[in-house]
Structure 1
Amino acid sequence: MPRDLPAGLSSRLATLGRAVWSAEVTGVGRQRWPRYFTQPVTAIYTRVRLQAAVARRDPDHPGTNAVVVHLVWTGADPSGTYLDSRPATVRLTREGATWNPVR
């Protein structure tokens, strides 16, 4: 995927996407985004490690303040099975000066 965001912005959004995904799979930090995490935690993963993240403009919403953070992560599912190199995405939109996750 070619870079389509300034390097600094891409890095900040990738970091934000990592934090959101970590909260998604571990349950830790969900209170930071109450509009995104509206349902109770259903599955907790352990030994989670985010291996890579890259932020790009959202191709489904061109011309908007929307990005997709593509992630690769690893961790043990609730039954203890270790899963490696799993893909995930987090969508973000800009609201004023703030970027927020959206489903």
Structure 2
Amino acid sequence: MENIVYILHSKQLGKYYIGFTKNLDLRLDFHQNDIQTRKFTYKADDWDLIFTIECKSKEQGLSIEKHIKAMKSRVYVQNLMKYPEMTIKLLKKYSDTSDC
């Protein structure tokens, strides 16, 4: 199984969704086809996968997901896609998650 941090984008809402999963295909299916009205991605039907980060462990993935969410910044998300070195720095910063 993979450990993936992923970012979805909805043009309809103009919003990003950041998540973590061990099974990206199953998770994408959940976001695109599930009918649970309480989940954030229910609000639109045009979610596109725009970015992924492969992580070495669940702990690393969850730490990176938390970091990206804590930034609360559209520009930060856009810069992650523009500048690969940001991803490398995140993977290094959270490579030893025993401190988290």
Q: Which TM-score band (shorter chain)?
A: under 0.3
- Greater percentage in strand: 1
Task: State the TM-score, normalizing by the size of structure 2.
Answer: 0.27
- Greater percentage in helix: 2
Question: Which structure would you say has the larger RCO, counting Cα contacts within 8 Å and 6 or more residues apart?
Answer: 2
Task: State the TM-score, normalizing by the size of structure 1.
Answer: 0.27
